[in-house]
Structure 1
């Protein structure tokens, strides 16, 4: 199925009831998502193609830091300054390698950052991306769903709400990356269309202490 044949639909939001262990995992990912996003904002100008190229020409990476493959060929990426997520590595920030950190959360922080810049280019009065504050009343992060062909084939033969890495187990429970099975309360009936599938998911924590999950689903 071609991408332009898909109709996108938002609006599936459920309240969740995490236990203390699950809350701690959520909070780790919220803090990590904010950290990655803010790092990308802080590095905005030096990571821009124009500025980074100038730096590489004016202050080239010393040859002692260059890397070569097993055939002795230079890996070009080692001779230029890393940008974007390549600068925010687990080697530099070991806590990002915590077993509770969702790798899809990190990639989605980059997506949010790029979206903020795209909005600025289209609507200049929206302003450039700002730092996210820990004191902000609403906190959250976004992660992605994945479907394996083997699992899909075994469970219905097509991607659905029930056979991805993020899925509904029944009308009262869902499974999320890193936290596992978690209790939910539906505010509306689940779509009955068999071709509805989950794309991305946003986990939100409100000042009231409530937790919500918003599903970005797409259908034929």
Structure 2
């Protein structure tokens, strides 16, 4: 029987250095760029919403934009994917979108709690490509790959 991470008596993460093939480098770069794009879209929508709420005169155009942004922020994954169809490509990791949105919400939550780091900033393209995925301990996934978002440890070594 497969267990989830929450059901295990211990929780750990592994940070490893990998030497990917050219195809894997391409997938990592695409996932990294898409993750950064989603994070920046979330940041842009929240910034727009903040500044539009500062408007004192209730213009219909502003009120409609506020309602649209509020609706899009309720389900950001589908809202961003619907307006940017390239994010539905099969090369992308299945959990990359959810983790990018979760990272943004965590950054915003930390700002509200601590107030020292400042509001979340736009992520710039850098030399290194990184993105976050999650482990799936499911019996449904027989062969772990980058595309289905699952990682398994094969042996103790």
Instruction: Report what 2:133 is aligned to.
Output: 143
Q: Please, which runs of 5 or more residues in structure 2 have no aligned partner?
A: 143-148
Q: Distance in 1 between matches of 2:49 and 2:103?
A: 16
The 1:165/1:5 distance shift into structure 2, 3 A limit, reads closer
Instruction: Report what 1:118 is aligned to.
Output: 109
Aligned-pair Cα RMSD in Å: 3.5
Q: Conserved in 1, the CA contact under 8 Å of 2:28 and 2:129?
A: no
Shift of 1:168: 2.4
CA deviations on 1:91-111 (whole Å, 9 max, x unpaired) are: 421221221111200100011
Larger Rg over CA atoms: 1
Q: Distance in 2 between matches of 1:170 and 1:5?
A: 17
Secondary structure at the counterpart of residue 38 of structure 1: helix
Q: Conserved in 2, the CA contact under 8 Å of 1:41 and 1:129?
A: yes
Q: Please, which runs of 5 or more residues in structure 1 have no aligned partner?
A: 61-79, 153-163, 172-188, 190-220
The 1:5/1:29 distance shift into structure 2, 3 A limit, reads closer
Aligned pair count?
Answer: 136
Q: Distance in 2 between matches of 1:99 and 1:27?
A: 14
Alignment of 1:1-220 (within 5 A): 6-10=9-13, 12-46=14-48, 58-59=63-64, 81-83=71-73, 84-89=76-81, 91-135=82-126, 137-149=127-139, 165-170=150-155
The 1:130/1:150 distance shift into structure 2, 3 A limit, reads closer
Shift of 1:114: 0.7
Secondary structure at the counterpart of residue 116 of structure 2: helix
The 1:82/1:167 distance shift into structure 2, 3 A limit, reads same
Q: Conserved in 2, the CA contact under 8 Å of 1:40 and 1:85?
A: no
Counting helix residues as a fraction of each chain, which structure ranks higher?
2
